[in-house]
Amino acid sequence: MSDWPDLAGRLEDGGHVLPIRVYYEDTDFSGVVYHGAYVRFFERARSDFLRLIGIHHTEMAEGTHGASQAFAVKTMTLDFQKPARIDDVLQVHTSLAEYKGARIRLDQLIYRGDQLLVSAAVTVAIISSQGRPARLPSALAERLRQFVPAENAGG
């Protein structure tokens, strides 16, 4: 079964790349990807990036590494440049721009081949089970810091 794809994508060039195929359910009546579907694509890529570096949503929610925590999107700015269509194979690139305290800023790009389709700037808050800002446990913070540009690290 060595031909089985890695469903979580791969780490490369200091970030993460997740392949996504566009299905009928992702499109509107015209066969173009519905704008809300891109948010799902970006979410999957962020989750799989974290999974590959050893930060699991389930473990955070269960408090495996300390207190129960979660990620909450605080802001997301999308820039749509070109449409994706049914059956396209896309690549979602995720890179960490900044990590400080209870805030993570990520840059995400969706490509079809070498053509940029959509970009996103995302700020995610780390929150406690009471909804208050919280810092990651040190072991998880160290995993994340490895991917933040040196000039923007400060967790």
Give the bridge partners for 94, in sequence order.
16, 108
Bridge pairing between strands 103-112 and 115-128: antiparallel
> Structural domains in the chain?
10-148 (3.10.129.10)
Q: Which of 28, 79, 88, 114 is catalytic?
A: 28
Residue 8: CB partners within 8 Å, gap ≥ 6? 18, 48, 51, 52
Cβ 102 vs Cβ 126: under 8 Å: yes
Nearest to 120 by CA among 110, 134, 131: 110
pLDDT digits (tens, 9 = 90+) for 67-121: 999 999 999 999 999 999 999 999 999 999 999 999 999 999 999 999 999 999 9
Q: How far apart are CA 117 and CA 37, in angstroms?
A: 13
- Examine the residue annotation and report whether 28 is marked as an active-site residue of this protein: yes
